[in-house]
Amino acid sequence: MANPASAPSLIHWSRPFLALLLAAGLAGCSSYGKIDYRQINSGYDPEQGRWIPYQKGIHADVTGNPFAMSQKDFNQLVAEAIQPNGYVPVDRGPRVRLAFNETGGTGDYICQNSGDKDSTKMGRGGDSKIRVSAAYCQGNDAVTYATGSITDVSGPDDPQFKAFLRNLTVFLFPTPESNGDVNCSNGMRC
């Protein structure tokens, strides 16, 4: 049994440690961006869809470019970042559409406006925030749709930026357990 006389000393030391641990945990969560919204449409089958971001190469369809690099190179970087470990980008297969700093629109809008038609209105916003709208598309229809953002990215090769893109992609394929929360608007997990 603990010595009651030592209890105040233990509490005195544990409070700063817990505060530091909490601050480090919160900083770690925020460094990989924030997912603001997810919509799951009726065509999504969570029993099959949940495995896609882990067991298949994914076709990345990209619009916009928040960095001073060629669109082709940026598209390749994004395509590689969203893949499961051990997979390479594919030209056919599950299509994830990512629109950088796209304003407005729905998942269907994102799926229907594929390719880099007008990259001049996209890119990095006036602040340091990079906004991304993403959709898992079947044809021109969004099966799932999510929006998110990340700040303080040092460049296109920033590991936090790549982790955010991967997290956003995985978030498009919810498990059956999370499917009950069809439209959510909180942090990384709905």
141-150: strand order across its sheet: 59-63, 95-100, 130-138, 141-150, 34-40, 183-184
Query: Are 97 and 19 within one domain?
Result: no
C-alpha–C-alpha distance, residues 150 and 69, integer Å:
19
Number of domains in the chain: 2
Query: Are 108 and 56 within one domain?
Result: yes
Lowest mean pLDDT among 85-89, 155-159, 172-176, 183-187: 183-187
pLDDT of residue 32: 78
C-alpha–C-alpha distance, residues 187 and 62, integer Å:
24
Query: Are 18 and 68 within one domain?
Result: no
In a domain, 190, yes or no: no
State the average pLDDT over residues 12-26.
Answer: 40
Query: Are 67 and 6 within one domain?
Result: no
Pairing of strands 34-40, 59-63: unpaired
Query: Are 11 and 94 within one domain?
Result: no
65 neighbors 100 (Cβ within 8 angstroms): yes
User: What does the chain come to in residues?
Assistant: 190
pLDDT of residue 95: 94
Q: Count the neighbouring beta carbons within 10 Å of the beta carbon of residue 126.
A: 6
Give the containing element (helix H, strand E) for 95: strand 95-100
Domain range for 13 is 1-30
Query: Are 121 and 165 within one domain?
Result: yes
* Residue 133 binned pLDDT confidence (cut-offs 50, 70, 90): very high
SS3 call for 19: helix
Query: Are 65 and 134 within one domain?
Result: yes
Give the containing element (helix H, strand E) for 36: strand 34-40
Query: Are 54 and 4 within one domain?
Result: no
